[in-house]
């Protein structure tokens, strides 16, 4: 499978622009993982860090789930990979963890995010609240935060991918 990254439109309206940049960064993370084995995708950066490409994908599935399902739509969904006992569980991989499962879960959360976001305008305030702060957010803030979150982690993905096989790129 070859990931096709689409540059966001340069003259779009605000919502199209935000959604375009979010999709671009989602596609970038998929591209950074492309063509690697499960073992390579589970490879941690450097000791003692557990950061890996598969862990990043699992983390972003959790982030999509949290912001769009829990906060935006007030959906009462449980975490996928982490728990109170293991708050960084998405990064704690075993040989049983596969790219097929992580990728499918991430894509399902992206589709759920799109579904929920379609019901809101950019200025509409979330139905749910942030679990730690109790704050509500408008969709514009959530989109902006998600772009920032992906951009930061795509920088990590660049370094992880280069360490695994030397591949570089924007």
> CA-CA distances (angstroms) from residue 21 to 43, 62, 67, 78, 142?
28, 19, 17, 28, 13
φ, ψ at 48 (rounded to 5°):
-95, 10
pTM passes above 0.85: yes
- Domain spans in the chain, listed from the N-terminal domain onward: 37-165
Cα 141 to Cα 87: distance, rounded to the nearest angstrom: 25
CATH superfamily of 37-165: dinb family like domain (1.20.120.450)
Half-sphere exposure in the Cβ direction for 152 (13 Å, CA): 8
d(CA 79, CA 76): 10
pLDDT tens, N- to C-terminus, the chain (170 residues): 677 888 999 999 999 999 999 999 999 999 999 999 999 999 998 889 999 999 999 999 999 999 999 999 999 999 999 999 999 999 999 999 999 999 999 999 999 999 999 999 999 999 999 989 999 999 999 999 999 999 999 999 999 999 999 998 77
């Amino acid at each position: 499978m070859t990931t096709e990254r689409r540059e966001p439109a340069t003259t779009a309206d605000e919502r199209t622009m935000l959604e375009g940049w979010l999709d671009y960064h989602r596609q970038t993370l998929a591209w950074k993982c492309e063509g690697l084995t499960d073992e390579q995708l589970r490879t941690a950066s450097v000791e003692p860090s557990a950061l890996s490409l598969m862990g990043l994908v699992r983390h972003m599935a959790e982030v999509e789930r949290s912001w769009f399902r829990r906060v935006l739509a007030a959906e009462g969904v449980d975490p996928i990979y982490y728990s109170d006992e293991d708050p960084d569980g998405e990064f704690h991989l075993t040989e049983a963890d596969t790219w097929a499962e992580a990728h499918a879960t991430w894509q399902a959360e992206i589709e759920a995010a799109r579904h929920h976001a379609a019901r809101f305008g950019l200025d509409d305030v979330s139905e749910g609240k942030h679990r730690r702060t109790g704050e509500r957010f408008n969709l514009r803030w959530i989109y902006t935060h998600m772009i920032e979150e992906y951009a930061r982690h795509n920088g990590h993905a660049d370094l992880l991918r280069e360490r695994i096989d030397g591949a570089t790129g924007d």
